[in-house]
Amino acid sequence: MWHNAFLQLATCNLQLSNMIEIKDVNKSFGEKQILKGVSAVMETGKTNLIIGTSGSGKTVLQKCMVGLFEVDGGEILYDGKSFTTMPEDERKELRQQIGMLFQGSALFDSMTVEQNVKFPLDMFTKWDHKKKIDRVNEVLERVNLKDTNKKFPAEVSGGMKKRVGIARAIVLNPKYLFCDEPNSGLDPQTSMVIDLLIKEITEEYNMTTVINTHDMNSVMEIGENILYMFEGEKEWIGNNKEIIFSKNQRLNEFIFASEFLRDAKDMRMLEEKGIINNERNMDALMEDPETHLLMGDNEKRESHPDREEKKP
């Protein structure tokens, strides 16, 4: 019995490692309160998404988490240690375990791709030049970038800049990876590539990844743990499977903003229930009260006055 209890405790501790906890965080700028008592847990080995409309406070929350903004109240815990009250020396050490991909990539303009990725190694390791270059090539290959070492950031595309940003963020094998809108300014296909790359790297390095996004594709594709924020407050927490069935009106309005997405959601719900693409279940489908409810929604949408006005 004791053996089992010990194992459970050990497993629990393992799950807790590298976890980020946000406890009742408040942040104001002047008289405007941006974050209002936000609490959440960012899980290890998962892609944790912070989503919300513009101005909902997701960027401020992320900046508070990495220490670019100081919180007014509440606490942020890295692996159980309070980052908020941590002395500056300890913070510096912790920051070496944090990688961050910025919205605009934040690459150093005057340095080549290779120098950008090598910079954290130059600053924090005593490796010889060859070992550093080997590591740089390894991470550049990992993000599928080849033959770009000697190019300057201005000479590569937006998607490539993001990859260089990811390579620089993971070069020191960080425990935590933060991404601020990694898809902004990218086409949907490249966005998906970047999303999947982040997810793969998260699993490979067993990192705690926190992504700040309002990209619908990212939410549905890599949202293993999603925090939806509305006007500085935590509105909903779940994952990409649960989001389909969420009854939260604000979340639904945000995620399924277009009619096409609403229809796609309805189809997905029916698919999940296993009652479409199966003719034998059609009778059951018609008898299901939730189906009627959905159809009723569709009828309502079809008869929406705005939509009728647009018809010739």
Our CB check for another protein shows the closer of 164 and 229 to be 164
Q: Which of 26, 103, 137, 239 binds another protein (CB under 8 A)?
A: 103
Per the CB < 8 A criterion, the answer to whether 140 and 89 are in contact is no
Is 113 a residue that touches another protein (CB under 8 A)? no
* 104 forms part of the interface with another protein (CB under 8 A): yes
Pick from 7, 10, 24, 108 the residue near another protein by CB under 8 A: 108
Tell me the closest approach of the beta carbon of residue 164 to another protein, in angstroms.
Answer: 12
14 binds another protein (CB under 8 A): no
| Segment interacting with another protein (CB under 8 A) among 86-94, 135-143, 229-237, 279-287 | 86-94
Closer residue to another protein in complex, CB, 19/94: 94
CB of 75 to another protein, least distance (A): 20
Size of the site for another protein (CB under 8 A): 25
The residue range among 35-43, 90-98, 260-268, 278-286 that interacts with another protein, by the rule CB under 8 A, is 90-98
Q: Are 64 and 27 a contacting pair, CB within 8 Å?
A: yes
The answer to whether residue 207 forms part of the interface with another protein (CB under 8 A) is: no
The answer to whether residue 143 forms part of the interface with another protein (CB under 8 A) is no
> Which residues, listed in sequence order, are joined to residue 35 by a DSSP beta bridge?
27
Based on the shown chain and the rule CB under 8 A, indicate whether residue 155 belongs to the binding site for another protein. Answer: no
Which C-beta is closer to another protein: that of 69 or that of 230?
A: 69
Among the listed residues 124, 157, 173, 253, the single contact to another protein using CB under 8 A: 124
By CB under 8 A, residue 245 contacts another protein:
no
Instruction: Kindly identify the residues of this chain, within the stretch 25-64, that bind another protein according to CB under 8 A.
Output: none
Of the candidate residues 8, 11, 96, 278, the single one contacting another protein (CB under 8 A): 96
260 contact partners, CB below 8 Å, separation of at least 6? none
Taking CA atoms, 60 is separated from 36, 48, 135, 229, 239, in Å, by: 11, 16, 33, 11, 22
Decide whether 171 or 219 has the Cβ nearer to another protein.
Answer: 171
By beta-carbon proximity to another protein, the closer residue of 94 and 156 is 94
Rule CB under 8 A: choose which of 98, 113, 210, 219 binds another protein.
Answer: 98
Contact between 123 and another protein (CB under 8 A)? Answer: yes
Whether 48 and 227 have beta carbons less than 8 Å apart is answered as yes
How far lies 101's CA from each of 15, 19, 235, in Å? 25, 19, 25
Least distance (Å) between residue 260 CB and another protein: 34
Residues in the site for another protein, rule: CB under 8 A? 66-68, 91-96, 98-100, 102-104, 106-109, 119-120, 122-124, 178
